[in-house]
């Protein structure tokens, strides 16, 4: 099945260039010139992945993410000319899965797209579901519930939670977690891992400031608390 990619950028030459190249790589491509149009296109066509510029008129990329993440968990790769760490972190906090700074090589863009899409296509046998305390994760349907209530997670948040829950009580260094997520297509840095952990805590913890499940092991990394 051909994957559909939504390319969102206010510059027509960028949209055209990206569209032509990734179409040649076997993808179906639709485009939007701003966040408002992107919302319409995403809701109408349900793309498999969104390439999202940040600085746009009418509705910028941050505003788009703030709205769309309340509706869908479609993977999003930010494409931005702004490489300041605060801009990247804000995008990740709003639910982006990856980022790429302009100017970029088209081959790298396609590699990032394929890496993110691969997260849904693994062939390794997985358990039907995992339960630790009140948190239940189903790797088959990519669903998570906490105290019986459904929780929406991004791809990276889901993969991170699955790694931790699969070995409750085990301490993972940041480097180990980054390595696990690299296998799932994560291309961020060590510092961005902390952002994903923070986002995950916000969604599954009663008090994210005093987490019950995802514990920080200072100077080392993280572990999922194993109930006694």
Query: Are 116 and 18 within one domain?
Result: yes
Confidence of residue 15 (pLDDT cuts 50, 70, 90): very high
For position 178, what pLDDT does the model report?
81
Looking up tokens 């514990």 gives 215
Same domain, 29 and 105: yes
- Domain tally, the chain: 2
Does residue 106 sit in the same domain as residue 81?
A: yes
- Asked whether residue 107 falls in the same domain as residue 141, the answer is no
Is the pTM of the predicted complex or chain greater than 0.95? Answer: no
Quick one: pLDDT at residue 173?
87
Q: State the Cα–Cα distance between residues 170 and 228, nearest whole angstrom.
A: 14
Least confidently predicted of 153-167, 185-199, 207-221: 185-199
For residue 193, the enclosing domain spans 130-224
Q: Which tokens belong to 189?
A: 């840095």
Do 113 and 152 belong together in one domain?
Answer: no
Question: Per-residue pLDDT tens for 102-151?
Answer: 888 899 999 989 888 886 553 334 446 788 888 999 877 788 999 889 99
26, 85: one domain: yes
| Domain assignment of residue 142, yes or no | yes
Q: Do 109 and 140 belong to one domain?
A: no
Give the per-residue pLDDT at 144.
92
Cα 61–chain centre separation: 15
| 53 and 107 both lie in a single domain | yes
Asked if the model's pLDDT at residue 181 lies above 70, the reply is yes
Q: Are residues 96 and 147 in the same domain?
A: no
Report which of 134, 132, 130, 48 is spatially closest to residue 142, judged by C-alpha positions.
130
> Helices 85-93 and 61-68: crossing angle, nearest 10°?
20
Q: Based on the domain organization, do 212 and 148 belong to the same domain?
A: yes
Indicate the residue among 120, 151, 176 that finishes a domain.
Answer: 120
Assess whether 116 and 145 both reside in one domain.
Answer: no
pLDDT digits (tens, 9 = 90+) for 139-155: 777 889 998 899 999 88
- Kindly write down the DSSP assignment for every residue of 84-148, as one continuous string: -HHHHHHHHHTT--EEEESS--HHHHHHHHHHHHGGG---S---S-EEETTEEEETTTTEEEETT
Query: Both 90 and 137 in a single domain?
Result: no
């Amino acid at each position: 099945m051909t994957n559909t990619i939504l390319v969102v950028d206010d510059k027509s030459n960028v949209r055209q260039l990206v569209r032509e190249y990734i179409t040649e790589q076997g993808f179906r491509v639709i485009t939007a010139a701003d966040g408002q149009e992107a919302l319409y296109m995403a809701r109408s066509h349900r793309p498999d992945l969104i390439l999202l510029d940040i600085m746009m008129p009418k509705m910028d990329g941050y505003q788009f993410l703030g709205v769309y993440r309340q509706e869908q968990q479609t993977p999003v790769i930010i494409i931005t000319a702004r490489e300041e760490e605060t801009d990247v972190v804000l995008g990740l906090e709003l639910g982006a899965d990856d980022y790429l700074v302009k100017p970029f090589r088209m081959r790298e863009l396609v590699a990032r797209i394929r890496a993110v899409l691969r997260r849904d296509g693994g062939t390794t046998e997985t358990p039907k579901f995992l339960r630790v305390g009140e948190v239940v994760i189903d790797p088959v349907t990519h669903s998570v519930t906490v105290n019986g209530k459904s929780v929406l997670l991004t791809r990276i948040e889901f993969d991170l939670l699955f790694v931790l829950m699969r070995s409750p009580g085990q301490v993972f260094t940041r480097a180990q977690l980054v390595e696990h997520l690299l296998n799932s297509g994560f291309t961020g840095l060590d510092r961005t891992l902390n952002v994903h952990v923070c986002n995950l805590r916000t969604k599954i913890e009663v008090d994210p400031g005093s987490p019950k499940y995802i514990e920080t092991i200072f100077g080392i990394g993280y572990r999922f608390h194993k109930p006694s």
